[in-house]
Each structure stands twice: as structure tokens, then as C-alpha cells.
Amino acid sequence: MALASAASLAMAAGVFAQSGYVEPVVTTPLFAGEEIEILEVDRDKLASSIAAFVVNQIKPGDNARKLKNARRLIGLALHLNPRNRIAVVANYQFKRGVIPKKIEAEYSPATLAEVLQARADTLMLRGGDLNLLLAGYMLAAAVEIDLTNETAVYKLEMYRKDVAEIDWTPVIGR
């Protein structure tokens, strides 16, 4: 029985690997510098929370859209802190077709979305090109994490109107 379960899990992981997770390219982190108005310890905490959300949401057989969003969120976490343990391990396992073990997240998805949206608000008030860019990614991540967060949806749409569309290329590469 355990052997059959292990075989079905291995087969599911193979399907996961074929479904298209492509590792984000993070050579020079965009948001790990001092010009970002978030302390390094807080960036690490956000990176851990985003990566934990992704790890807990991905399942064998997930579609390409879900894996594309996982790539974006893992990329964002790695740009916040390229040495974040949860993000690095998850990225490594995903690119090899392994579904990471579920981990205890500090925040529920709804709370994480609210935290990201609040951080985005602060960054927009502080100004600066990098702060504004990170605010856009945080709003997009908040909406991806919790589509029912109407405030985050509204602020993302206003960001798109007032600033720019969200271009994930700088976060994921290629």
C-alpha cells in the first residue's frame, strides 16, 4: 500500500515537473538594497511568508497558470531576500519537479494579502522609483494571494491606471 502511494506521488511529481515551472532568474536582487523603505529583517519575513504561501498552495497536477504565478511569487520573495531559506528551497524543489512539504505559515492567505497591501501603501507614500516598483509587485501579489481582498484589487487597478501595468519580467527574467 505504501509503495503504491509512493509511486503515485512520484508520478504526480513527474507531471508537476512537465507542467512548466521555470525557475525565476535572480542575478541581482531588485529589492535587497538600502534604498527600499523596508528593513532587511522585514523583507526576509515577507519573503518567508510569500514563499510559505506558494509552498502550501502548489499541488501535483497544478495547471500552467498556477505554476506561472508560483514562479512570480517565488521570484518576488527571492528579490526581497535572495538568501531566504524557504524561497531558495522551494525554488530548488519546484524546478526539479518535487512538491515541497507543507509548512506552517505565519499568516493566513487573507492576512498576508492585507500585509502586502499595507506595505505597498507605505512604499507609495515614501516615493522613489524602486519603492513604487515594489509597491506594484506587492499589490499584484496581494491580489493573487486573495482575490476577495477588494481594497487590494482596487489599489492594484489604480496603480495600473496611475503608474503602469505590472511587468513581471524584471522579477522572473526571460
Are 117 and 151 a contacting pair, CB within 8 Å?
yes
Are 136 and 30 a contacting pair, CB within 8 Å?
no
CA 122 to chain CA mean position, Å: 19
Number of domains into which the chain is organized: 1
Q: Would you state the pLDDT for residue 6?
A: 43
**Threshold 0.95, pTM exceeds:** no
Q: Would you state the pLDDT for residue 140?
A: 98
- Could you tell me which of 48, 104, 37 has the C-alpha nearest to residue 76? 48
Mean pLDDT of the chain: 89
What is the C-alpha radius of gyration for the chain, rounded to an integer number of angstroms?
16
Residue 26's domain comprises: 2-172
Q: What is the pLDDT of residues 113-128, one digit of tens each?
A: 999 999 999 999 999 9
Q: What is the pLDDT of residues 85-103, one digit of tens each?
A: 999 999 999 999 888 999 9
Query: For residue 85, which amino acid is it?
Result: R
